Structures are given as structure tokens and as C-alpha cells.
Amino acid sequence: MKLAVWTYEGPPHVGAMRVATGMRDLHFVLHAPQGDTYADLLFTMIERRNHRPPVTYTTFQARDLGSDTADLFKTACRDAYDRFRPQALIVGASCTAELIQDDPGGMAETMDLPVPVIPLELPSYQRKENFGADETFFQITRTLARSVDRTARPSVNLIGPTALGFRHRDDITELTGLLMDMGIAVNVTAPMGASPADIARLGAAHANVLMYPETGESACRWMERELGLPYTRTVPIGVGATRDFVAELAALLDVPAHLDESRLRLPWYSASVDSTYLTGKRVFVFGDGTHVKAAARIARDEMGFEVVGVGCYNRETARDVRALARDFGVEALITDDYLDVEERIEALAPEMILGTQMERHIGKRLGIPCAVISAPVHVQDFPARYSPQMGIEGANVIFDTWVHPLVMGLEEHLLHMFRDDFEFHDAAGASHHGAKAVPRSAADDAARAADSMPGADADLAAAPATGGDVVTWLACAERELKKIPFFVRGKARRNTEKFAADRGVTQISVETLYEAKAHYAR
Amino acid sequence: MNDQSPPPMPGCRDVPVLRERGQREVFCGLTGIIWLHRKMQDAFFLVVGSRTCAHLLQSAAGVMIFAEPRFGTAILEETDLAGMADAQDELDREVARLLARRPDIRQLFLVGSCPSEVIKLDLAKAAERMSAAHAPNVRVINYSGSGIETTFTQGEDACLAAMVPVLPETDARELVLVGALPDVVEQQAVGLLEAMGIGPIRVLPAPRKADDLGLGANTVFALTQPFLGDTHAALERRGARHIPAPFPFGEEGTTAWLQAIATEFDVAPDLFERVTAAPRARARKAVAQAAEGLDGKSVFFFPDSQLEVPLARFLTRECGMTAIEVGTPYLHRDLMGPDMDLMVQGPVFSEGQDVDMQLDRCRAARPDLTVCGLGLANPLEAEGLTTKWAIELVFTPVHFYEQAGDLAGLFSRPLRRRAVLKLDAAQPPAARAEARR
């Protein structure tokens, strides 16, 4: 058993639902107890879908346990087929139904439904949501896809986008446009928007574009082996990655590499002088493997940040993320426990977090700005406006998204200049964060005056000061520290304490603070 | 509006009920944890279940989950399923770790789930063992919030019913108000009753273990929530006596509820009148304002919380609505009787659900307002039906006089919104040219 409050991923049957809900004319019969229908509202609320997910639940109750649940499953299956007339059915069990061992696949096979019925194995006690999506799409592809004649002109399939995917909707649009510019048609986009009939003609493409390895890699591998469709390894998130992707695809299809960069603004925005302050900003990157890999590259090579930590929650991409961490000279954090993530963030004290919804809240708690780069996400990250992550426009969106939580360069400069100003002291907070400015109090002013008085160093700060390895802050140093803008204060405190500890200094004075500042100057 | 006429003859108490079995679109009882843990300030709710259970709590708790919540899930792993003895040891270890980390916890609820019930993990025995191990600091209680046994608010019922046997014995004549209410609402209720000289008043659940109430043959209790069937039975087993009443929604429901208690405690009619006159008038006025637009409209309830019957009574009698179907996950005839007595015959009462069939009935009836869960709300809106999502009725303060207007407002707002949005409005170019001339 493992105690959990937050989970980054749902159970595997939710992954199967993401595939089913993304597709058309496919129905999912899920053997599950009453209550598991909660997952519907992920789709109707977070993604704001205007229809119910195409899922029929058997919703068995305690009184149904025993042989009855098998009949219940068959009835549900029959009713679902009669009512929805899908082109194919997928059937599976949720965690509880897995325990009662009714074998939905076997039962559905005996029912002689006039459409393909695809059984799913979803090991709920070992695997999670992403696995469920990947496996479901793989099984659907394996059952339905056939060798068919290639299209006359070069075409590809877009593989991996699902319901409840982070920016999947707009990434499809962006990539479709990019491919069109290269003279490449999209044969089928799947699972999102595809019907079982579309799956049957996946083989007509010349190659697969694997958009999201988490949800499409197994199917791509199978198609490479069985249908002779090569697939792309580069995920086009970021400018460099998009260029690499275009080159990779051009080589695969033997067409000229062409990328229309007329709307690309990230490189110039990043080069412009206002971005100079971004140099060396220490960022921590966490999320699903694919988005983390892309974000780390952008952060270092296109924004000029210093990546101080990377990690992912899906162990399927652990190897890749570990390799990435080695490249960046940092330690990888592979965990699905958000408390571990919080601990690492606290230890690293980055100036910015690129993460998921959970990291956004961790950032809020620790006072560190955060931009969301990966699922799990909440309703605000299914925006109405066009906001892809992939391709040219994706790069523009990413620049804006990442820079906004940071205090802009000029603003930062002004805050430094006027940090003693009556409206710009710390308790006031930054105005665009909605905090109301509180004028500095008389007590504050008295404390400031005390700073310049001789003997101010004598009074110790509140921290208990015993033991040789404990570093305490003298009150004057503590006050001096407060003059440093809040967004770099954490780093200053940490550096100073390390500096002091390394030298066996137990009491930090104003002098120690500035010596440390000089030591770490860059 | 504000129908103060005597109960219709005959009311709905004895109407036949449509019982349905099929796919149900409802929450399981685990969801009750979300509001129960806010109410019981020194309690921790530990679900023993699967990743699905943890995911459900996370989806239902929304952003609340980040404020060091006092609930969590011990997620069963493959090794736990292999051998049973092992699972109890694992649980002991996780609980010990948890209690070490949270020394402020005084009550620990081991909440059963579908997986733990299906593998017959004996949580009752575990609770007994842990109670002994962690006494006297921490009391460990077990109940089931599994989907196979409980629907949504029934989780609260199961929790409270599990607490009843461990509460101390007393001979005192005390009034117990049963059901977790928002603090502000609870204070209003207690305030009104105390103003009539009724007391001492206790509430179940108490905010802390130290505030535990006693039970005995002289205890009388009133339910503030309709979904407390098992708790009702458990209290009666302890010798306590129930005061039957309609549930305190709206001006009329609140008055009838207070009246039943006042009668039990022999409160003089003029005192009752003096205490309730002003808040009654306020509530009537607020409902009249907030219910604007509800008069003459039809309403259809999908089953969710068991609040449906008393809410349908409020909407039909005090807001002038017509009920088409009142779906409820479980209809406790005795507890719901006083509310059904007050309703005019006409609506279909349905218990249980076959969601596709019920959707067919709803589409055919084209109600003006449909009360349903979040899984159905947006899809029905997209079909042109106006909906009120039901979960809000459980989280928002809606009971008693001062909230009566807010309660009506929850139902009138979606209709008002539909009326104010002109999303399809676009004049054809010819009409625009015409308008310029």
C-alpha cells in the first residue's frame, strides 16, 4: 500500500476513456462499479465536451456481486450496441471488476455482435492512465489497421492526440498547417477525431508522425513492423525541435525540408534586450517525459535559462529523462509523489518552475512563479483561444506563457531602483498579482533606522542559535535580506547560508551576506 | 408562490414509485469525505482503495486538495492483492506513519472502497486493532464509502452511523441535530431553537472528538439532511427518538421543521411566533425575489443526493414550479413521508436509474430546468436544455430561513442566464443596412 493524496495519473481505464472519447463511432463498455462514472466529468467539465463520453458502465452494486455481474455485463454490452450502433466496441474492466474476474473480452466475444469487439487488458494495480491510453490505441490499431495501398502523394498520420490531452486540439491544427506547407497531406489523425473506419486506412500513409509518445508509441511501433510505416522520433515543441522535425520528416519522405518561419517570433523576442534578464534564470522542469524533454531544450537553448532540475511522473519515459538529466548535468527526479517534487523544489529553490497543475500549486505555496507545460491540467488549460505547443505558433505561445509569470526585465530593474519606495516595499507585492499595496508602516521605518545604529548586530534573530552547524541570521542581516526583491530572496538566503556553512561561520551578518553575494556573482 | 395552503389531499406519500435498474450516473459514497473532513476538524479520512479512488477524490475535491487536506488514499498494489495477512500489516504501517506525521489527528476513519470490499479486507477488525494500539489519543472507526454499497451523500450516512455505537451513554434529555451543515447554517438553527428555550442542543457530527455528545433513552434527534437512513436506525438502536418533520428547505420547510421540534419541547405558540416571525418574513421576501422566473416552469430531477424530494417540494410549493420527474438514488419512505405529504400528486417519483432510459424521458418532456450531475449537464445544455448541476446543492449553504433566497437563486440563475445570453444574435447584413438608414 502507498499513501497518496495527489495522483499525477488516473487509473488505466481513464486512459482507455481518453482514446474512446477522442474517437468517433467507437463505444467503450466498461465493467465497473457504481460511482466510476465520475470520470465522465473530466471530459464534460475540464475539456468542456458537449456530449457524454461514449462509455457505457455496467455500474454493478453489492447486490449484483456473484454470477449476476456477468449477465449485467452482457446486457450492458447488448444495450450499448443497440442504442449507439458503433463501428466497433472496446470492452474492459476497471480496478474493481478486475478483482471479480468476469473477463469482459471473453464474454463479449460469445455475443456475436456484428462489429469488431476489442478486449482490453488494463492492469489497474500496476499501470496508470498513459499506459491505458497507449495500450487501448495499440489494440484498436492492431485489430483494425490493414495493409492498404499508399496514397499517391506523400501523406502521414498524426498519431497520439487524445481527449483530455494538454493542447492536443491545437497541436493538431498547427502540425496540419506545417505539413501542408511541405506538401504533405494528413491521411488520418488518430485517436482524436478518427472512426474505426479511419483506423482501417492508417496504412495508406507513407509515415507516422508520433506526436505524443506517451499515448501513441506502441501503435507506431506496431505499424512500423507490420505495415512498414516509419515514424518520427522528434516531437516538434520548440524552435530547434520543430526544425529538426522538419528535417527528419523530409528525409523520411524524401521531400524538400521547408518551414515557413514568417510568423516565428520566439527567436527575436528572446534576443531582444528586454530578455537579457532571463539569462541564467534557474528553472526546474517537471511533467510528462515528452513535454519535459522539449521544455528543457527550449529553456536552455532558446530562453537562456539554467535548468537546475528535471523530472517526470510517468516511469515509461524514465530512461529518456535520466539521459536528458545527464546531458544537463543535473539529477533526474522520477516520481509520482508530489511531496517528493515539492521537497526537490524547496531544496533547489529555483526562480521558476515549469510543471503541471500540481507544480503550479507548489509554486504558489513557495512563492515561485510557475508556467504549466504538461498534463495533468485543470480547466483553464483547455483554453478557448488558439494555443498550441507545437510548431511555429507553439513556440510563440511558449515564449509568452513562460515569460508572463516572471517579473519583466524593465519591471525588475525598476523594482530594484525603487525598492525603498513607500509603494514598492515587499509586503505590497507586485501590483499585477492583484495584491493591494500596503504603505510601509512606522515600525518598518524604525527598524530601518535601527540598521544604521552601532551595536545593531548584537541582537540575534529569533532562530534558536545552538550547535556548531546551525547558521543563524543576525537581525540586521535578516533586515538587509528583506531589501532584496522577493523573487531572488530565496536564492540569496540559500547561497549565503551555504557560503557561511562552508566557512564554519555560524552567525550571518550584513558583511557575510555581501561576501556571499560577491562570491556567487555571475 | 409561497403556497401556505394546507397539505394537498391526498399528497404523494403513497404514490407508486418507478423503480429502475441499469446504468447509474452517480458518485460513490467516498465523495462525502470532501465535506465531512471540513466539518470534523480533528479527523482524518483514509480510504483503502485503488488509484481510481484517489483520482475520484482529486477530481471531486478540485483545488481544495492542496491545503494539507485531512484525507488520503492507501492505494492497493499488486502485492496487497496476493496475500491477505500482508494487507493488514501494510495498513498498520501506513497508519502509523500517517499518525506520526499528523499528531493533531484524533479520529481516523478507515473508509472502505469497492476494491477493499470485494477482496473482503476486514477494515472493521483493523479499526479495532488500531483503536487499541493508538488509544487514548486516537479513535479509529471504519465505514464503507464504496460505490457498490453507497451513493454520494450516503457516504455521510455510513460515516455517522459508524460513529453512533461508539458515542458515550447519557440519560440527559438533549436535542441532537443530525447531519453535517455549513457552520453558518448550523449556528442559525441552534440560535433559533435556543431562542425558543430549547436545549441543550448537540450536533452530530461534532466538530471535534472532545465535543462528543452522549446518547440514551432521553435523547431526541432531528435530521437536517434526508440521506441519513442508517444513522436514523443506529440512533434508534441506542434508544434515541426521532422527531419526524419535512426537511428545512425554504421558509415553509424550515418553519415546519422548527415547529415539529417546538411541539416536542412544548414551546408556547406565541413564543414560536415571536422567534420565527421576522426571519420568516425575510425568507418569504427573499424567495419571492430570487424565484422570479421560476413560476410556472417545469423541473426534472436526475438522481444524485436524496435531496431531490424535499427540493422538489420547495420548488413546487414556494416557487410555483411543476415537477415532471423526481429521481432519487434511494427513497426512504419514512424519512421522506412528511415532504411527500406536502406535494400535489402529478410528478413521477423514480428510485434508482437507467440513465439512457431516463435521458430519453427527459428529452421527451423538454423540462424548463433539469437538475443533474456534471457528467450530464454540459451535454444536455448542448442539446438546448437548461440545467442546474446538483452537486452545488450539497456544498452551498441552502438550509433554513436566511439561505432560502439563495436556494431559489441557485435554480433561477441558469434560467436567467439562458435568457440574457444572445449567443446566436447576429443581424443579417441586410437588416444592419436597414438599421443604419
Cα(B421)–Cα(A477) distance, integer angstroms: 58
Given this chain, do its domains B174-281 and B285-425 carry the same CATH topology? yes
Flag whether residue B56 sits within 8 Å of chain A, measured between CB atoms: yes
Contacts of A95 in chain B (CB under 8 A): 50-52, 114-115
Identify the DSSP state of B106.
-
Give residue limits of the domains in chain B.
Answer: 29-150, 174-281, 285-425
> Using alpha carbons only, what angle is made at residue B7 by residues B4 and B13, rounded to the nearest 5 degrees?
140
Do residues A201 and A317 share a domain? no
Please give the helix or strand (H or E) that residue B95 lies within, else none.
Answer: helix B84-101
B148 and A62 within 8 Å at the Cβ level: the answer is yes
Cα(B59)–Cα(A35) distance, integer angstroms: 13
A38 and B87 within 8 Å at the Cβ level: the answer is no
Do residues A387 and A439 share a domain? no
Residue in A closest to B52 by C-alpha = A11
pLDDT tens digit sequence for B80-129? 887 766 888 889 999 998 999 889 999 999 999 999 999 999 999 999 99
Cβ distance B313 to B246 under 8 Å?
A: yes
ipTM for the whole complex: 0.92
A39 and B59 within 8 Å at the Cβ level: the answer is yes
Locate cell 481516523: which residue? B108
Last residue of a domain, one of A404, A426, A454: A404
Q: Give the nearest partner residue to B378 out of A5, A10, A44, using CB atoms.
A: A44
Closest CA to A40 of A20, A23, A24, A60: A20
Flag whether residue B381 sits within 8 Å of chain A, measured between CB atoms: yes
Cell of B309: 424530494
B148 and A49 within 8 Å at the Cβ level: the answer is no
Q: Number of A to B CB contacts under 8 A, please give it.
A: 176
Do residues A295 and A393 share a domain? yes
Which one of the listed residues A181, A274, A337, A340 is annotated catalytic?
Answer: A274
Flag whether residue B87 sits within 8 Å of chain A, measured between CB atoms: yes
Contacts of A92 in chain B (CB under 8 A): none
Mean pLDDT, chain B cut into blocks of 10 residues (437 residues total): 63 93 94 92 95 91 69 91 79 91 93 94 95 92 96 97 96 96 95 95 93 93 98 97 98 97 97 97 95 95 97 97 97 95 96 96 98 95 96 92 96 95 74 61
pLDDT given for residue A457 in this prediction = 40
Contacts of A96 in chain B (CB under 8 A): 50, 52, 114-115, 118, 147-148
Range of the domain at A218: 145-253
Cβ distance A249 to A374 under 8 Å?
A: no
Cβ distance A158 to A175 under 8 Å?
A: yes
Determine the distance in angstroms separating the CA of B321 from the nearest CA of chain A, rounded to an integer. 27
**Cα dihedral value A193, A197, A199, A204, nearest 10:** -110
> SS3 of A92, please?
strand
Contacts of A34 in chain B (CB under 8 A): 24, 26, 28, 147-148, 151
How many domains does chain A contain in total? 5
pLDDT given for residue A372 in this prediction = 96
Question: Which of A9, A42, A73, A95 is the mutation pick for testing B, counting most B CBs within 10 A?
Answer: A95
Cβ distance B67 to B190 under 8 Å?
A: no
Contacts of A99 in chain B (CB under 8 A): 81, 115, 118-119
Q: Looking at this protein, which amino acid is placed at residue A237?
A: I
What is the arrangement of strands in the sheet containing A282-287, beginning at the earlier edge strand? Answer: A332-334, A306-312, A282-287, A352-355, A370-372
A44 and B376 within 8 Å at the Cβ level: the answer is yes
A99 and B115 within 8 Å at the Cβ level: the answer is yes
B114 is in an annotated binding site: yes
B151 and A14 within 8 Å at the Cβ level: the answer is no
pLDDT tens digit sequence for B159-191? 999 999 999 999 999 999 999 999 999 999 999
> SS3 of A234, please?
coil
Cβ distance A415 to A485 under 8 Å?
A: yes
Tens of pLDDT along chain A (522 residues) come to: 888 888 999 999 999 999 999 999 999 999 999 999 999 999 999 999 999 999 999 999 998 887 788 889 999 999 999 999 999 999 999 999 999 888 898 898 889 899 999 999 999 999 999 999 999 999 999 999 999 999 999 999 999 999 999 999 999 999 999 999 999 999 999 999 999 999 999 999 999 999 999 999 999 999 999 999 999 999 999 999 999 999 999 999 999 999 999 999 999 999 999 898 899 999 999 999 999 999 999 999 999 999 999 999 999 999 999 999 999 999 999 999 988 999 999 999 998 999 999 999 898 888 888 999 999 988 889 999 999 999 999 999 999 999 998 866 556 656 666 666 555 555 555 544 444 545 555 555 555 554 444 443 444 444 444 445 678 899 888 888 887 766 677 778 888 888 898 888 888 988 888 888 888 765
pLDDT given for residue A101 in this prediction = 81
Locate cell 450499448: which residue? A80
Q: Is residue A280 part of a domain?
A: yes
Cα(B433)–Cα(A444) distance, integer angstroms: 65
Locate cell 505499424: which residue? A223
Please give the helix or strand (H or E) that residue A196 lies within, else none.
Answer: helix A196-200
Residue B344: Cβ-neighbour burial (10 angstroms; 0-12, 13-18, 19+):
middle
Do residues A439 and A334 share a domain? no
Contacts of A126 in chain B (CB under 8 A): 77-78
Determine the distance in angstroms separating the CA of B107 from the nearest CA of chain A, rounded to an integer. 18
Do residues A61 and A91 share a domain? yes
Exposed e or buried b per residue across A107-120, where buried means at least 16 C-beta atoms within 10 angstroms of its C-beta: bbeeeebeebbbbb
Enumerate the β-bridge partners of residue A307.
Answer: A283
Name the phi and psi angles at B415, rounded to 5: -70, -40
Cβ distance A24 to A195 under 8 Å?
A: yes
Do residues A39 and A97 share a domain? yes
pLDDT given for residue A453 in this prediction = 43
Cell of B154: 450516503
**CATH number belonging to the domain at B174-281, selected among 3.40.50.1980, 3.40.50.1110, 1.10.10.10, 3.40.50.300:** 3.40.50.1980
Peptide bond into A256 cis (omega under 30): no
Do residues A16 and A118 share a domain? yes
Q: Is residue A452 part of a domain?
A: no
Cα A391 versus chain centre, distance: 17
Could you say which residues from 170 to 229 on chain B have a Cβ atom under 8 Å away from some Cβ of chain A?
none
Binding residue numbers of A for substrate:
409-410
Cell of B294: 421560476
pLDDT given for residue A454 in this prediction = 41
Name the phi and psi angles at A46, rounded to 5: -65, -45
Measured over the CA atoms of residue A485, residue A490, residue A496 and residue A497, the dihedral's sign is positive
Share of chain B above pLDDT 90, in %: 84
What is the arrangement of strands in the sheet containing B387-389, beginning at the earlier edge strand? Answer: B18-20, B348-352, B322-328, B298-301, B369-372, B387-389
Determine the distance in angstroms separating the CA of A279 from the nearest CA of chain B, rounded to an integer. 32
Q: Looking at this protein, which amino acid is placed at residue B106?
A: R
Question: Which of B55, B80, B97 is the mutation pick for testing A, counting most A CBs within 10 A?
Answer: B55
DSSP secondary structure of A396-448: HHHHHHHHTTSPPHHHHHHHHHTTTSTTSSGGG--GGGTPPP-PPPHHHHHHH
B52 and A11 within 8 Å at the Cβ level: the answer is yes
Q: Which CA distances in Å does B55 have to A7, A287, B106?
A: 6, 17, 26
A76 and B375 within 8 Å at the Cβ level: the answer is no
Cell of A471: 547558521
pLDDT tens digit sequence for A177-200? 999 999 999 999 999 999 999 999
Cβ distance A507 to A468 under 8 Å?
A: no
CATH number of the B285-425 domain? 3.40.50.1980
Residue A274 catalytic?
A: yes
Do residues A424 and A494 share a domain? no
Is CATH 3.40.50.1980 what the domain over B29-150 is classified as, yes or no? yes
DSSP secondary structure of A442-477: HHHHHHHHHHTSTTGGGSBPSS---STT--EEBHHH
Residue in B closest to A29 by C-alpha = B23
Q: Check which CATH number belongs to the domain holding A503 and give it.
A: 1.10.8.550
pTM as predicted: 0.89
B26 and A57 within 8 Å at the Cβ level: the answer is no
pLDDT given for residue A4 in this prediction = 87
Question: Which of B56, B65, B71, B114 is the mutation pick for testing A, counting most A CBs within 10 A?
Answer: B114
Flag whether residue B385 sits within 8 Å of chain A, measured between CB atoms: no
Identify the DSSP state of A217.
H
| B375 contacts: CB under 8 Å, gap ≥ 6 | A37, A38, A40, A41, A44, A52, B25
Q: Check which CATH number belongs to the domain holding A167 and give it.
A: 3.40.50.1980
Determine the distance in angstroms separating the CA of B354 from the nearest CA of chain A, rounded to an integer. 10
pLDDT tens digit sequence for B145-156? 999 999 999 999
Cβ distance A90 to A16 under 8 Å?
A: yes
HSE, CB side, 13 Å, CA atoms: give it for residue B391.
21
Flag whether residue B91 sits within 8 Å of chain A, measured between CB atoms: yes
pLDDT given for residue B432 in this prediction = 61
